[in-house]
């Protein structure tokens, strides 16, 4: 019953997924032989296809771990390179090309590499086998080959011909067996000839009597015996290449039968010798099955030990906490949605109003600076204020057309500055920043993929709403472009609020001044250069060339700092004066709006903000709050493939390790389970044979 090898090959492919377990190797058949001994021909005859790299130069530079999987009932034959993700290659010449490329990729300096190439061939015509093809031994180092090559190949082969592997030692019949490098290597590691199969190729090249004597070799007797073959592939005939289309094996077998049966005396049944590729295949299957069977126990033990280690690690490092990539993603997503929900509860109309108003406050300050504060301030207050005359500060003519026009123009500028876009931009970028903050605080922070998906979800929704929202907002504030009506209550509120704005601006000016003091090296120095700038401005001093190369003993850089400082000081003075004005009795009265543009513009800005926010809420915020969780589900929810979820989870090194430990544990448990049933099956089989 040849089921064991198949099952063990399955188990081996599971173990390969476990990774990093060099101890868990199941027995294979290792193929060694000198160059040109016919090693490739034998392997290709077994597989039934030409697929190995060919060439005058040595091309096998990496071990090829070849797994043959018998697929009864199917007609298809194909190969796969699982490590490269190359599946279902039905064209064997393409397999050959890939193998050649992989081999040639090993740099000359390395000579050979012990990193194996994994190739699996599925076919109804192959037996279940696990073979390892190694670089052929070389006798003389070729002209273009590195000197250490010969030694490196020997070392590589030595690594593989250790127990429990079976050695398939290939020797050509036309070379004296005593000179066979393969048999000599084998003898070193298997002196009693217990796990070596001798293959003598090119039997057609020697006299049958000599050939038969070789198969009976007594110099190095092998328990598993010698097999003679003639596996030379028939020559390709023009375009019709035999190897790739027809099964190579049947051609070779025919050829062998013709040859061996033409020498019945030496190779006939009476001679009791093993000849032919079919015999070789059977022997390989049988031997591998036996070897697998006898290594069941030790492999089981090794797996048990590995499993114990994984279990221990799981317990100690992860407290036996179960985790899967899906559950991790689902939990992370839930937690993120939860934090988003919390955010939505704290961010609504009042918060949007505050944001927008803050932005408009800046615009109001700019307008004031451009339209009012740059004028000799006396114009506005009619007289330079004395400290004791603060109470009656604004004194300009209430009927002055000039001041009326100034306020109307400022208000118009405020309403026409593009409030729709400004409001939408401010709120959208605030939402974006908030989401970014939520991501950084969530477990998604260490997942670039999720991070990107979330940011994309955010900007997709916001971008979709952007134009319609800003249009709507712009439309709804349209009436204010013609008239802004302020009532007493709004005036009072504006007066209160703008004081805070002015105070803050004053503070900013003052701290900028202090900052300048520090950059020029102290207050005194700054004062000096400011005094110089003041004098120059009054015309007391003439600065040549605009002070580009310095003046008055000050460098150009210092002079520009001085000008900046003078500007800040003047601005601070004006703001102080305007603060007094706003606080004064006159400004308490809406009627005096022309002397108190700060209050009026503040109140107007509040009206704009309140109206804008109503629409922002409907058009942008509510839409976002509704769509965002759905968009998240779409991008990070059930729609992701298993591989994507896996890739996502593994982006976090901690999670990756946790998942790997669990996976290793599960795979090992699975393997152990399979091994146990196999052992029981084996036991029953033995009992049956014992009884029978």
The residues, ordered by sequence, that sit 6+ positions from 415 with a Cβ below 8 Å of its Cβ are: 477, 480, 481, 484, 604, 608
Host H or E run for residue 97: helix 92-104
CB 12 within 8 A of CB 164: no
Give yes or no for residue 230 binding ligand GDP (CB under 6 A).
yes
Total residue count of the chain as it appears in this document:
692
118: helix, coil or strand? strand
Stretch that binds ligand GDP, among 9-17, 118-126, 201-209, 537-545 (CB under 6 A): 201-209
Rounded-to-integer distance, Cα 422 and Cα 359, Å: 8
Give yes or no for residue 232 binding ligand GDP (CB under 6 A).
yes
Rounded-to-integer distance, Cα 426 and Cα 466, Å: 11
φ, ψ at 121 (rounded to 5°): -115, 125
Give yes or no for residue 332 binding ligand GDP (CB under 6 A).
no
Stretch that binds ligand GDP, among 198-206, 507-515, 564-572, 627-635 (CB under 6 A): 198-206
The binder of ligand GDP chosen from 27, 29, 32, 37 (CB under 6 A): 37
Give yes or no for residue 39 binding ligand GDP (CB under 6 A).
yes
CB of 36 or CB of 278, closer to ligand GDP: 36
CA angle 491, 493, 498 (to 5 degrees): 95
Give yes or no for residue 36 binding ligand GDP (CB under 6 A).
yes
In whole angstroms, the minimum distance from the beta carbon of 231 to ligand GDP comes to: 5
CB of 123 or CB of 181, closer to ligand GDP: 181
In whole angstroms, the minimum distance from the beta carbon of 29 to ligand GDP comes to: 16
471: helix, coil or strand? helix
Give yes or no for residue 35 binding ligand GDP (CB under 6 A).
yes
Task: Please list every residue from 133 through 162 that binds ligand GDP, using CB under 6 A.
Answer: 136
CA angle 508, 514, 518 (to 5 degrees): 140
The binder of ligand GDP chosen from 187, 202, 281, 353 (CB under 6 A): 202
The binder of ligand GDP chosen from 130, 201, 299, 584 (CB under 6 A): 201
Rounded-to-integer distance, Cα 294 and Cα 249, Å: 30
Give yes or no for residue 33 binding ligand GDP (CB under 6 A).
yes
Give yes or no for residue 205 binding ligand GDP (CB under 6 A).
yes
In whole angstroms, the minimum distance from the beta carbon of 247 to ligand GDP comes to: 17
Rounded-to-integer distance, Cα 97 and Cα 53, Å: 7
In whole angstroms, the minimum distance from the beta carbon of 91 to ligand GDP comes to: 21
In whole angstroms, the minimum distance from the beta carbon of 219 to ligand GDP comes to: 22
What are the strands of the beta sheet with 117-123, ordered from one edge?
Answer: 86-89, 78-81, 117-123, 64-70, 129-133, 29-33, 166-172, 196-201, 226-228, 274-275
Rounded-to-integer distance, Cα 51 and Cα 100, Å: 10
Give yes or no for residue 256 binding ligand GDP (CB under 6 A).
no
Stretch that binds ligand GDP, among 108-116, 226-234, 647-655, 668-676 (CB under 6 A): 226-234
In whole angstroms, the minimum distance from the beta carbon of 55 to ligand GDP comes to: 9
Contacts with ligand GDP by CB under 6 A: the residue count is 16
Give yes or no for residue 180 binding ligand GDP (CB under 6 A).
no
Applying CB under 6 A, which residues contact ligand GDP?
33, 35-41, 136, 201-202, 204-205, 230-232
């Amino acid at each position: 019953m040849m089921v064991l090898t198949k099952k063990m090959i399955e188990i081996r492919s599971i173990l390969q997924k476990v990774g990093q377990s060099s101890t868990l190797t199941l027995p294979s058949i290792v193929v060694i032989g000198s160059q040109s001994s016919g090693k490739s021909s034998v392997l290709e005859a077994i597989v039934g296809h030409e697929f190995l790299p060919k060439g005058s130069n040595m091309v096998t530079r990496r071990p090829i771990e070849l797994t043959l999987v018998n697929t009864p009932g199917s007609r298809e034959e194909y190969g796969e390179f699982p490590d490269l993700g190359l599946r279902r290659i039905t064209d064997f010449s393409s397999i050959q090309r890939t193998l050649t490329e992989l081999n040639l990729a090993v740099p000359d300096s390395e000579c050979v590499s012990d990193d194996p190439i994994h190739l699996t061939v599925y076919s109804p015509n192959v037996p279940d086998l696990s073979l390892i093809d190694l670089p052929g031994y070389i006798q003389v180092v070729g002209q273009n080959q590195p000197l250490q090559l010969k030694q490196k190949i020997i070392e590589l082969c030595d690594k593989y011909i250790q127990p429990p592997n079976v050695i398939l030692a290939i020797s050509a019949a036309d070379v004296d067996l005593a000179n066979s490098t393969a048999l000599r290597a084998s003898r070193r590691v298997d002196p009693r000839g217990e796990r070596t199969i001798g293959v003598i190729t090119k039997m057609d090249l020697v006299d049958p009597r000599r050939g038969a004597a070789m198969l009976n070799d007594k110099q190095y007797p092998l328990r598993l015996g010698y097999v003679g073959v003639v596996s030379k592939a028939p020559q390709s005939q023009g375009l019709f290449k035999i190897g790739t289309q027809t099964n190579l094996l049947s051609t070779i077998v025919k050829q062998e039968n013709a040859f061996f049966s033409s020498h019945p005396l030496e190779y006939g049944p009476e001679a009791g010798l093993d000849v032919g590729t079919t015999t070789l295949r059977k022997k390989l299957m049988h031997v591998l099955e036996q070897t697998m069977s006898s290594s069941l126990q030790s492999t089981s033990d090794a797996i048990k030990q590995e499993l114990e280690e994984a279990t221990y690690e799981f317990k100690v490092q992860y407290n036996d906490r179960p985790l899967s990539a899906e559950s991790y993603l689902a939990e992370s997503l839930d937690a993120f949605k939860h934090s988003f929900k919390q955010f939505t509860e704290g961010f609504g109309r009042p918060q949007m109003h505050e944001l927008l108003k803050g932005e408009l406050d800046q615009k109001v300050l700019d307008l004031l600076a451009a339209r009012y504060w740059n004028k000799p301030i006396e114009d506005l207050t009619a007289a330079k204020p004395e400290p004791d005359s603060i109470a009656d500060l604004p004194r300009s003519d209430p009927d002055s057309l000039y001041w009326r026009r100034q306020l109307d123009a400022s208000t118009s500028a405020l309403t026409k500055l593009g409030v729709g876009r400004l409001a939408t931009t401010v709120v959208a970028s605030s939402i974006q920043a908030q989401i970014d903050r939520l991501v950084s605080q969530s477990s998604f922070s260490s997942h670039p993929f999720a991070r990107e998906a979330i940011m994309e979800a955010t900007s997709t929704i916001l971008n979709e709403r952007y134009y319609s929202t800003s249009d709507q907002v712009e439309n709804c504030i349209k009436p204010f472009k013609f008239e802004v009506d302020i009532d007493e209550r709004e005036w009072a509120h504006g007066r209160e609020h703008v004081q805070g704005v002015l105070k803050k601006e004053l503070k900013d000016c003052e701290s900028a001044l202090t900052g300048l003091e520090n950059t020029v090296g102290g207050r005194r120095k700054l004062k000096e250069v400011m005094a110089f700038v003041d004098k120059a401005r009054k015309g007391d001093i003439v600065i040549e060339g605009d002070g580009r190369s310095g003046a008055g003993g000050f460098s150009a850089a210092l002079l520009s700092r001085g000008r900046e400082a003078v500007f800040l000081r003047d601005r601070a003075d004006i703001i102080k004066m305007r603060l007094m004005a706003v606080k004064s009795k006159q400004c308490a009265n809406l009627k005096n709006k022309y002397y108190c543009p700060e209050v009026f513009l503040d109140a107007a800005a509040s009206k704009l903000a309140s109206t804008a926010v109503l629409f922002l809420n409907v058009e942008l915020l509510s839409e976002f709050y509704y769509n965002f969780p759905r968009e998240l589900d779409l991008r990070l929810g059930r729609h992701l493939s298993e591989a994507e979820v896996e890739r996502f989870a593994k982006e976090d090194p901690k999670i990756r390790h946790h998942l790997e430990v669990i996976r290793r544990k599960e795979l090992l448990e699975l393997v152990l389970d399979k091994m146990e049933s196999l052992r029981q099956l084996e036991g029953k089989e033995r009992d049956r044979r014992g009884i029978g």
